[in-house]
Amino acid sequence: MAGNIEKSHPANSLLREDAIPSIWCPGCGIGTVISTFVETLEKMNADLNKICVSSGIGCTGKVADYLKLNCCNETPGNAIKCAVKFKLKNPKTKVVVFLNDADFIASGADDFIEAGRKGVELLVIYINNFIYIISEYKVTPTTPFIRTIDKNLELPFNIPHLAKLSGAQFVARWTPLHVRRLMYSITDALKKPGFSVIEVVSPCLMYYATEGKIGETIDRMRFFHDNTVIKHSEPTENLDIRTQDKIIMGKFVDK
C-alpha cells in the first residue's frame, strides 16, 4: 500500500541518522553546502572508503559528526593539520576540509598557506559567515569580516587571492544559491591533484537575519541573486569583497 511506504531522505546513505536533526539554523548555508557535497559524491559514484572529511569547531565543526565517512574532528586551528597528516598516511584518499574562521582566519592561516605551498592534495571548502567581531574589550575571531563597534566592516584576507598565492591549483567562490555551480566546482576539485579551495559566501543567520539585514530564507536567496555577479577567470587580486559593488563569483583558477 502506498500509505505504508517508508520515506527516507535522499542523503540518508551518507548521513548519520542518529545525529539528525542538525544544530544548523533553518536556511543556514552550511546545510546547503553539505547537502550539495553529499549529492556530488553520489553523482560521482565516489568510493566512500577513499573519502575523508576533516572539520574543527563551531558550526562547521559538526560536519564530521553528521557524515558516514572517514572523519576527523579537531580542536580550533588544527583541521588542516589533521587533514594533512591523514593524507600523508593515506595518499590514495581524497581529503576534504570544512573550515570556518576559528579554524582558518583566527588560527589556521599558516597551515593553509603551508599546505598550499607544499601542494598537498586537499580540497578546502571554506564557509565565509562574516561575523568576525571586535568588541570594546577584545577581538572574537570567528569569521573573515571584522565588525567594529561602529558597525564598519574590515576583511583580513582576499580568500581566492590568498589561495592562489599559496599555490592552489583550483580556486572558486559561490554562495548557497549557486548549488549547481558549487557541485560542478566540487566535482572538478575532487578530480584534481594538488591543493584546491572553494569559498562559499554565506552570512550567518544569527548575526544578519536577526538584525533584519537578510530576512527569511527566500529573502536570503534574493540577496545572493541581487548582490553577486559571475565572472569566471577574474584575476584574483580583483576579488576583495570590500572593493566590489557586487560580490564576484566564479571559477578563478583551474590548472
DSSP characters for 180-215?
Answer: HHHHHHHHHHHHSSS-EEEEEE---HHHHTTTTSS-
Beta-bridge partners for 8: none
pTM of the model: 0.85
Of 193, 197, 187, which is closest to residue 109 (Cα–Cα)?
Answer: 197
Of 95, 81, 100, 79, which is closest to residue 30 (Cα–Cα)?
Answer: 100
The predicted-structure confidence for 18-76, as pLDDT tens digits, reads as follows 767 777 887 788 989 999 999 999 999 999 999 999 988 778 888 888 888 888 766 65
Cα 11 to Cα 42: distance, rounded to the nearest angstrom: 9
Task: List domains and CATH numbers for the chain.
Answer: 52-254 (3.40.50.970)
Share of the chain above pLDDT 70, in %: 76
The answer to whether 231 touches 185, Cβ cutoff 8 Å, is no
pLDDT exceeds cutoff 90 at 78:
no
The pLDDT value recorded for residue 161 is 95
Cα 171 to Cα 184: distance, rounded to the nearest angstrom: 12
Question: Which value, to the nearest 10 degrees, does the dihedral of the CA atoms of residues 71, 74, 77, 82 take?
Answer: -50
pLDDT exceeds cutoff 60 at 134:
no
Residue with cell 584576507: 157
Cα 234 to Cα 212: distance, rounded to the nearest angstrom: 32
Buried b (16+ CB within 10 A) or exposed e, 155-165: beebbbbbbbe
What is the three-class DSSP state of 126?
Answer: strand
The predicted-structure confidence for 145-194, as pLDDT tens digits, reads as follows 444 444 454 555 789 999 999 999 999 999 999 999 999 999 999 999 99
Cα 35 to Cα 183: distance, rounded to the nearest angstrom: 10
